[in-house]
Chain A
Amino acid sequence: MPDSATMLTNAPPLARFVLRADAETTIKAGAVYGLDLPLTINQGASKGERGKPGARVALKLGPDEFWLIVPEAEGAGVRALLDTALAGCVCALVDVSHRQVGFVLSGPDAATLLSSGCPLDFDLRAFPLGMATRSVFDKIEFMVWRMAQDVFRIEVARSFGPYFEAMIAEARHDLV
């Protein structure tokens, strides 16, 4: 297999929530969450270092759909804060911490490896920094979020994790 500096690593344990909310509720949520939720669709926002205390991620993946991702230990606290702040608002907050597993694909061949299974255009003009979207990777659905030119965060359903890892390993053979 060709040598490549591109690495696929597993995310640390995380708490994840799906929030469905209108713009007004979104602002309220952002205030207690400690990170403004993105206003534009297919945008990700983050602060802190993943898995470390205080880290926050907010991805807007649908017109009213957000994924909120925090360190596992802070999940219950964040949930309680949001429940309180959003009481009385028309919205939905669901815990999906264990539904998914996360990866980071980073290195010079990251986009090429993604292109082995994902039909999206990973050119920076088409898929700029901060963009996050659901798509397909070969036979599974996945979520891909560009943190930097060569750094992508990926989430797949828990049972699809091994398949995704194996397909990326297979695609490495094509880095010739």
Chain B
Amino acid sequence: MLQKMTEYVLQSALKKGASHVRVTAVRDVSNELTVLNHSLEKIQSAVESVLHIHLFVDGRYGTCSTNTMQTGHLDNLLNQSIASIKLLAPDPFRTLLPKELQYKGVPLRDVFSGDVETEEKKDLLFSSTASIQNKNPALINATAHYTDSIRWVHIADSNGLHCTSEKSWFGLLTECSVLGENNTRPSDWNFIGGTNPIHISAAHESMRQTLDRALNKRNPKKARSGIYNVVVENRVASTLLAPVIDAISGAQLQQKNSFLLNSLGQRIGSSVLTLIDDPHKTGVPAYSFFDYEGNATKKRTVIEKGILNLFYLNTYHASKMQMPCTIATPSTLLLTGGKGDVLSLTKQMQHGIIITGFNGGNCNTATGDFSYGIEGFLVENGQITTPINEMVMTGNMINLWNQLHIAGDDAQPISSRLLPSLLFESIELAGL
């Protein structure tokens, strides 16, 4: 039905005066359940669809989108949008994806074939929260939040592009809050997920780890300001990579709003930093055969031993920058070549701080200067000791990644950023 609507919109837009059209149809089916201690706190179900329409009209460009799939409504929307676009200034850099870059392969289908009944999901959640009740008198709340979703995407354009993907994902977020000193209620979380349903033993283990993490955070201290070696735990390391990825995106580069402008082929990190974009890795949420323009994906080396190899350029930014189009956005990013987990890195560090969470902060996209709140633990003689909080890590992104000393190999395949734990040297931390 939605695919037929895509064709209808494509043909209708051309008849109404568009020179070229690209239509992306998305259908999401999702379920969420939350159990708080012994009670089903929330249950939510949704089926939603949307059409994103990219219109190229007389050398001009505009977009429209809607979740109303009636032909009369779509015709009105196209009429209004095309009339508005004709009033804009021309933009010669807006084009459809060239045919030679189009994905022409089979649809991507990575959908769990079975059914998981609502009662099974409830059982998983209730047994997870029950598994830690009465384990520690400091426990205030145990929350288990389950999600499953199936996303279907179809992209078609007037240049003959047709590509489809359908993927499912299951996730379990566990959270615990506990009583600390001075009436504080520290909390922590854990997330597990994958393309298959969550197993009950994994859920229990996740809940147990979450409680331990929250308990370990009680009664934190602020350490002295200083220059520390730090280990950044795998599950939060992507916070430090995000500004780098933003800085090599066409949107920032073309606007000269990037600290990595003109850095292609340049050293932007230590030789420990090798970053691979692997869209065809299975079992992770960013598994993909094509980007949002329908550009066929392939495995690429983004950074090789500290040298930047790739800018993320869609057709528009590539054209404006007079550079070849690469791919619009990252898929699954893997920091490779390391060895060890967070504990082995901590032992190698001997003295310093292990960062287990970031609390706010930001990075200046033009300069790379950053400042992030941190929490974690002191490390003394290779042992994790006192929890710390209310400290701030400050520096510059290029300097930071050049201070990457050791990478682990403990990335968790639960997001599109598969980063292991990382050991950085000589990081400026403000505290007492």
- Chains A and B belong together in one complex: no
Binding site for A on B (CB under 8 A): none
> B-contacting residues of A (Cβ < 8 Å)?
none
